[in-house]
Amino acid sequence: MSKKSKKRKQLAEAAKTKAKQIKNPVLPSFWKNKTHLISILAALVITLGCFYNTTQNEFVNWDDDRNFYENEYVSTINKDNFWKQTKKIFTSNVIGNYNPLTIWTFAVEKRVYGFENPGKWHATNIALHLICVFLIFRICILLGLKWQGSLFVALLFGIHPMRVESVAWVTERKDVLFGAFYLSALYFYIKGKLNGKKYYALIFTFFILSLLSKIQAVVLPLSMIAVDYYLDGKLDFKSMIKKGPYFLLSLLFGFIGVYLLKGQGALESAATYPTWQRIFVGSYSYMIYLIKSIVPFRLSPLYPYSPQMPVYYYPTLLLFPAVGYSMFVLYKRNLKVWVFGLFFFTVNIMFLLQILGAGQGFLADRFTYIAYFGLFFIAGYYFDKMMQTKPKLKTILWSGAAVLFLIYGYMTIQQNTVWKNSETLWTHVLKYYQKATLPYGNRANYLRQEGRIQEALKDYDMATSLNPKGEQAFNSRARLYFDIARTRDTLMLALQDYNKAIELDPENGEFLINRGATYARLGDVQRAIADIDQGLIYKPSHAVGYLNRSVLNNGQGKFQEALNDIITYLKLKPYNADLWYEKARALRNLNRLQESIPAYDRSIQLKRNEPVFYYERGRTFKAMGRIDEAKRDIQMAINLGFKNIDPTLRRELGI
């Protein structure tokens, strides 16, 4: 073999070896790289510092109630029913959303912390967000950024003011939880592409956990395609076909999600725009999300629809073809980072552009939680590139980055205080949207619970004046009058508002049941029962209706009817100790003493330190001739502080 041929062969082998190394590089150990460890630690500490004040926040009356503190599967969980409640959580939905893993974390926290420590619930959100920041840094390293660019992206992801809603709102646990699993799946997908190993089990596991946390995870296969393009420089049809199982899983959860949302009416919009106009809502939202990634202005927990679509929405439709054309040009010029970033952002935001019109608002900061990674990656890429190619500008670049992060960090800390409680939340919304009725109504509900009656009435009055056809505001104001009523005149104000609410929505079972309770306090029992009967026809799952009717029937001596209603109530809310006690008393009134004992037992099992439960069970045991058990219960009632012991009973039992 000639020297030339030998040399050519050596060069060819060297090129082949190099190509193999590029395809399957030996990834350095992250944990042995001190620079990487220091960088990610800095990102985590700064992010923690920016969100720490959320641990001083309370729960809020915007979906926190329905997701956990009024969600029976969460609020009633205990050691005895933990797995039974877990099964129910995973076979049900909340407000049309199937995110059982998120709800289950609430159940665990209720079991561990109770509802008295909201700061610990907030701390869980922060911890999950920190996991996401850690994964973002590692993904950036795998995608070829140096530590400078990776740190830049991690900090943008960590402390950008648009993160606040996802972290500071406990209900949005689903964002940070799904994000942690979503990014874990993406991380192992990228790692597998780089080192030639297959992590199918891990990727599928994290993908499923992500889907069980929030349906938004269905776009993971599209994010994988974005990664394929960035790493391979091309879109390979064969590679897309291999993602078939992921797409099938996405379709399955997607169909489930749409079905449940539609069934609960959650796909209905607060907007009154015709269907053809909703595409303009999507294009306008897309533009605003792009702008807010750089300039996060007028941040609000709610962005309510305008009564009429503003004219300036229409030109934004041009943005879609403009972005599409730009991506085509960028693709042709092989500007991979731009194509990757814009594609990643677009696929992760496209199903959340409210084109279907779901929800109370046309925007939501939380929708950008994962999507913004694409845009942040573009910024981090060029920051990194300038760091490597313009070493003389390092000081200026770091100074500029420091100023940016100081501004974002300050804004984030301030925005966290908006979520301190329901009053601060809705007051902030009203700062920008004074003509929206929902903030007035929800702030009034909070003020009512706080006993600030005049302030609450002022907000209810504003809500009803802004929207005279808003039945919920009339119902809520009526409830306030009902709660504070000490005179007939105040009850008549409640009745007047309930009448108005029913006039606007005559088939609303809750309104009818509430009016029935008002008639009962006014002494009109027949009208009260008639309203409750009708209300339960429209809303047979309204437990309080059965409770109210049982009280009325009991007062009329209809003990069997009262018992029937209590039994129905307990089917709907089986963990109410007081109603098990009432069931026992109803059975006792019917002289079914033996049957009453298990009901007393259940009430005591659910509320072990309630002295009257022991006292009444003791009286029942005495009537049954079970003297030793009667003595034990009466003594327990005394030990727990019960004072009104029947002297005759005490004497007969020798206590």
Low-confidence stretches of the chain (pLDDT < 70) are 1-28, 260-271, 357-359
H or E element at residue 362 = strand 361-363
Helix (H, G, I), strand (E, B) or coil at 369: coil
Helix/strand/coil (H/E/C) assignment for every residue in 293-338: CCCCCCCCCCEECCCCCCHHHHHHHHHHHHHHHHHHHHHHCCCHHH
**What are the residue boundaries of the structural domains of the chain, listed by start?**
27-274+364-418, 434-540
Query: Would you say 644 and 614 are in contact if contact means Cβ atoms under 8 Å apart?
Result: no
Contacts 24+ apart (CB under 8 A), 429-435: 429/300, 429/301, 429/302, 431/300, 432/298, 432/300, 433/300, 433/302, 433/303, 433/304, 435/466
Alpha helix locations (H) across 196-318?
Answer: 200-213, 220-232, 237-242, 244-263, 278-292
For 64, the 3-state DSSP assignment is helix
**What are 304's strand-pairing partners?**
361
- pLDDT at site 256: 78
Phi-psi region of 410 (alpha: psi -120 to 50; beta: other; left: phi over 0): alpha
How far apart are the C-alpha atoms of 635 and 614, rounded to whole Å? Answer: 9
pLDDT, tens only, 279-293: 999 999 999 999 999
Structure tokens at 177: 């939880």
Whole-model pTM: value is 0.88
**What is the sign, positive or negative, of the torsion defined by CA atoms of 540, 544, 548, 554?**
positive
Q: Which CATH class name applies to 434-540?
A: mainly alpha
What is the DSSP pairing of strand 303-304 with strand 361-363? antiparallel
Q: Are 369 and 179 in contact (CB under 8 A)?
A: yes
- Per-residue confidence (pLDDT) for residue 28, from 0 to 100: 60
Residue-by-residue DSSP string for 546-580: HHHHHHHHHHTT-HHHHHHHHHHHHHH-TT-HHHH
- The rounded distance, in Å, linking the Cα atoms of 287 and 281 is 10
User: In a 3-state reduction of DSSP, which class is residue 584?
Assistant: helix
Buried b vs exposed e over 554-564: b needs ≥16 C-beta within 10 Å?
A: beeebbebbbb
Under 8 Å CB-to-CB from 605, ≥6 apart: which residues? 80
Longest CA–CA span in the chain (Å) reads 121
Output the 3-class SS for 83-115: HHHHHHHHCCCECCECCHHHHHHHHHHHHHHCC
Handedness of CA 235, 241, 243, 244 (dihedral sign): positive
- For CA atoms 386, 387, 392, 393, give the dihedral sign: positive
